[in-house]
Amino acid sequence: MDIPLDLIGEFSYPSRMDAQFAVDLCRDAIWMALIVASPILIAGTIIGLLIGLLQALTQIQEQTIAIVLKIIVMILVVAYTMPWITDIMVEHGTKVFRDIPGIIPSEEQPWIGGT
């Protein structure tokens, strides 16, 4: 899957931790979670609609058919998109952990992260 990894917003790390930084970090984490979960949720929704339509047309009202097919399709989608999901999560985690020293003040550089 060749989807660009820059779908997640870029952090603008300040020289210190403040409320806006925390809000931006949480917003980017939620956005990443939505991007990562969307293929799985879309596949489950489409299969659910197709099975519901098929059941309405044939008047078969067995709920286990829909549930089992949704689970199978969602597992296949997870298996297919796992490398992409892993790349996005590793990139996001690397950004966060790489920039921690610039946010937290240190004894050698008290001007970084201090008030």
Helix H, strand E, coil C: the string for the chain is CCCCHHHCCCCCCCCCCCHHHHHHHHHHHHHHHHHHHHHHHHHHHHHHHHHHHHHHHHCCCCHHHHHHHHHHHHHHHHHHHHHHHHHHHHHHHHHHHHCHHHHCCCCCCCCCCCC
Q: How many other CB atoms sit within 10 Å of the CB of residue 94?
A: 10
22-32 pLDDT, tens digit per residue, is 888 889 889 99
Report the share of the chain in percent with pLDDT over 90.
43
Span 76-104, average pLDDT = 88
Q: Provide the whole-model pTM.
A: 0.69
State the pLDDT confidence band at 69, using cuts at 50, 70 and 90: very high
Burial label, 92 (beta-carbon count in 10 A; 0-12, 13-18, 19+) = buried
Contact 112, 25 (CB under 8 A): no
Q: Name the residue among 92, 94, 90, 70 with its Cα closest to residue 82.
A: 90
User: pLDDT at residue 102 above 90?
Assistant: no
pLDDT at 2 over 50: no
The whole-number average pLDDT for the span 57-61 is 87
